[in-house]
Structure 1
Amino acid sequence: MTTKIGYIVGSVSSTSINRAAFEAVKKNAPEGVEITEITIADLPMYSPDHDAAYPQSAVDFKAAIEAADAVIVATPTYNNTLSGVVKNAVDWASRPWGQHSFNSKVTAVAGASISPHGGKPGTDALVATLAFGEAKVLETVFNLTVGADTFDAEGNFADEAVRAEARDFVAAVAGNAAN
């Protein structure tokens, strides 16, 4: 049986280090785990004015979350908190009231940063935001400090210890999704 994990990158930057980190995480996924990006780039800014008729991008976004066995949300840390685009995505997922796509969904958070904190302020804020929506937020968090030597020429993690941490992280998410 394949465990389907959706991942959301909380950055729309073409040079996102969180996207690069998750491309490397995917390369280290254990056998039987399929990781697919759930895109947020096309989501407009959330407004309750849309609750009666969601745009197709939001309908597709919510459906992708609901179809996944588990979801990983990766956020950069901007101004010592989660990114605005990932917060906007969570807002879309949580509405209309009573139709929260993360409700009871096994969810993990991750963050990558050039800062020594490895994205911890952003992931801490994201945990609190997702827990409010009654997601089953795992205690296992993947925070990565990114430097010039983090990735090899193929885009994988250069350090075997980081590759092992990525494998353990995805295995923990998949294991919780199976329970």
Structure 2
Amino acid sequence: MNTIDRSTDTLRVLAISGSLRADSINSALLRAAGALGGPEVKLELWDGLAAVPPFSEDDEAEPGAGVAGMLAAVAGADALLFATPEYNRSLPGQLKNALDWASRPYGRSVLTGKAVAVIGASPGNFGGRRAHADLTKVLKACGAVVVGDEVCVPQADTALGEDGLPATEELRTALTGLLDALGEAVRAA
């Protein structure tokens, strides 16, 4: 359920990186998006992906602290912004696993009706386009509402300047556009 604070119009966005790497460009892109969001966007980078155990229906009744923390973070956000690297032409297994947990129970999960947007980055020429497509497909199957234009960042190692912000106006516009699309989707719900 979207719970935007209409008294302040602050959009609470939970940013989830599909990378576990400390120096991940995808995590850096999420931080850049947060810096561009302005005072009306509160973006929190969730760093609990590594603590989510493999999904098992046997563990659904008592999923453990890693899953419980993730579900609470997702439920408490107005919207989600994902950034995914591309591993073997698809999304990382750890991210897919987390979505399997978050999709339960089907039709009543924390993802059902949640506004989400996706960015992807890779050092190659396609910018994680295949992982972006796969993540978008999985999110839609989970009942999330995917908004915004496709944002795939090629040659990601040069996408951000030394200040941590996008090196091009095109990327800056794309990231702020996704935040705007998330805000519009939440307000329309």
Percent identity, aligned pairs only, is 30
TM-score (norm 1): 0.92
Aligned to 1:89: 98
- Which residue pairs with 2:135 in the alignment? 126
Partner of 1:13: 21
Deviations 1:68-119 (A, max 9, x none): 1111121111111111111011011012455421001111111111111111
Please, which runs of 5 or more residues in structure 1 have no aligned partner? none
Could you say what secondary structure the match of 2:150 adopts? strand
Equivalences for 1:1-179 in 2 at 5 Å?
1-39=9-47, 40-97=49-106, 99-179=108-188
Structure 1's 118 and 98: CA in aligned 2 closer, same or farther, altered over 3 A?
Answer: same
C-alpha distance in structure 2 between counterparts of 1:91 and 1:80, whole Å: 19
Equivalent position SS for 2:14: strand
Query: Could you say which residue in structure 1 is the equivalent of 2:4?
Result: none
Q: What is the CA distance between 1:140 and its match in structure 2?
A: 2.2
Three-state SS of the structure 2 residue aligned to 1:77 is: coil
Q: Quick one: distance in 1 between partners of 2:63 and 2:105?
A: 9
Residues 36-63 of structure 1, C-alpha deviations (whole Å, 9 max, x = no match): 1223121111111211212012111111
Change (3 A) 1:81 1:172: same
* Closer/same/farther in 2, CA of residues 7 and 174 from structure 1, 3 Å limit: same
In structure 2, runs of 5+ residues without a counterpart are 1-8
* Paired AA for residue 84 in structure 2: T
| Contact map agreement 2:75 2:110 (CA 8 A) in 1 | yes
Contact 1:102/1:133 (8 A) holds in 2: yes
